[in-house]
A = this chain, B = another copy of it.
Amino acid sequence: MDKKQFPILGIDLGGTKIAASIIIDTDTIGKPKRVPTPHGKENIIQALLKLIEEFKQDNLIVGVGIATAGIVNPDTGEVIGSTGNLPGWEGTPIKKIIEEKMALPVHVENDANASAYAEYRASKFKADTCLVTVTLGTGIGVGIVINGSLYRGAHFAAGECGHLKVSLNNHRRCTCGLWDCWEAYGSGRGFVATGYDALSKISAHQSKLALKKEKLTTEDIIEAAKDNDLVAKQIIETWHEHVAAGMVSLCHTLDPDCFVITGGMGKFVDYVLLKDLIMDMTLPRISEKLEIYPSSLGERGGMIGVAELVLDTFNSSAKYTQSLQKK
């Protein structure tokens, strides 16, 4: 049996929900199962164990992968950096806890990293040197695959690019406490903040959006733009400039083969405009051959990627066993 055919349970643990699916050969089998993320570390662990138990009853699985928010040491399977979305989760030795209870091999990975690895493995994007995923959601996350392997950095915090510094002006404060981080501009939150900035200067006869000054949403702006509202259109264009600004810095640092855009805000990206903006702001040698793709996997990226990483541990063990046998 080819190892690609091994069934792995892939779990994506987010701030609001836990999604899980059997993964075979870089694809989900059936519709992923979703449960709300409970509050508190102990409850999350119980929810994970329950999910795994349920899948085990109905399926043969040979390993479990868990993609989680937060900075993860994948060697120990421990969450070493907390995330605002999962309070109290820092310091949890997830791999150890689950392996002891379940007697199954477990791999834990940061969710943005897992998504990037999934795009590299499951998609047919050419990326021999470097593939970079940009997750445009409430914040911005980045995953980096170099020469076919996840690049995690010296302290497992590579790709924390939501905190690239895109301005020297201390204009917008990021939720992390730092000033002028990329995600204070290019994320969904940044998009709405740009909307409020624009509305502060206009009145209702210039744009119907002015009526939303009290409570503006992403959808308000998108809908208004569809109705040809010029202010809304300008907000969307400025947001594209903001998204491009961080990608330009990634271009000049990593010179990637391609970017893959994912996350909830990804559906609002105008790929022609984004590529044009990046071309305008990047050395031609880098941007001429650069490709920018929409994600091929969407929300399933985390669970597929982490399942692939479980498979990789099997492969290296297999090689190790072989070399032992030869001796």
Tell me whether A130 and B154 are in contact (CB under 8 A).
yes
Q: Tell me, rounded to whole Å, the shortest Cβ–Cβ distance linking A153 to chain B.
A: 3
The list of the 3 closest CB pairs from A to B, nearest first, reads A153-B255, A129-B154, A158-B255
Picked from B80, B159, B245, B283, the residue with its CB within 8 Å of the CB of A157 is B283
Q: Tell me, rounded to whole Å, the shortest Cβ–Cβ distance linking A186 to chain B.
A: 11
Residues of chain B within 8 A (CB-CB) of A283 are 81, 157, 160, 163, 176
Tell me whether A164 and B252 are in contact (CB under 8 A).
yes
Tell me whether A154 and B252 are in contact (CB under 8 A).
no
Residues of chain B within 8 A (CB-CB) of A250 are 253
A window 230-285: CB within 8 A of B: 241-242, 245-246, 248-250, 252-257, 281-283, 285
Known A153-B130, A154-B130, A169-B167; contact A160-B245, beta-carbon cutoff 8 A: no
Q: Tell me, rounded to whole Å, the shortest Cβ–Cβ distance linking A129 to chain B.
A: 4
Name the CB-closest residue of B to A258: B154
A286 close to B (CB within 8 Å)? yes
Q: Which residues of A contact B (CB under 8 A)?
A: 71, 80-81, 127-130, 142, 144, 146, 151-169, 176, 178-179, 185, 241-242, 245-246, 248-250, 252-257, 281-283, 285-286, 288-289
Tell me whether A81 and B165 are in contact (CB under 8 A).
no
Name the CB-closest residue of B to A163: B252
Number of copies: 2
Picked from B165, B167, B252, the residue with its CB within 8 Å of the CB of A161 is B252
Tell me whether B160 and A281 are in contact (CB under 8 A).
no
Kindly list 5 other residue pairs between chains A and B, CB separation below 8 angstroms, not including A165-B245, A165-B281: A80-B285, A129-B154, A157-B283, A160-B252, A165-B246
Q: Tell me, rounded to whole Å, the shortest Cβ–Cβ distance linking A40 to chain B.
A: 23
Residues of chain B within 8 A (CB-CB) of A156 are 255, 285
Q: Tell me, rounded to whole Å, the shortest Cβ–Cβ distance linking A79 to chain B.
A: 12
Tell me whether B249 and A158 are in contact (CB under 8 A).
no
What's the Cα separation between A81 and B288 when bound, in Å?
13
Known A168-B167, A285-B71; contact A154-B257, beta-carbon cutoff 8 A: yes
Residues of chain B within 8 A (CB-CB) of A153 are 129-130, 254-256, 286
Picked from B154, B158, B167, the residue with its CB within 8 Å of the CB of A289 is B154
A-B contact list, 12 entries, CB within 8 Å? A130-B154, A152-B255, A154-B255, A155-B285, A157-B252, A157-B255, A157-B283, A159-B253, A160-B286, A165-B245, A166-B167, A178-B282
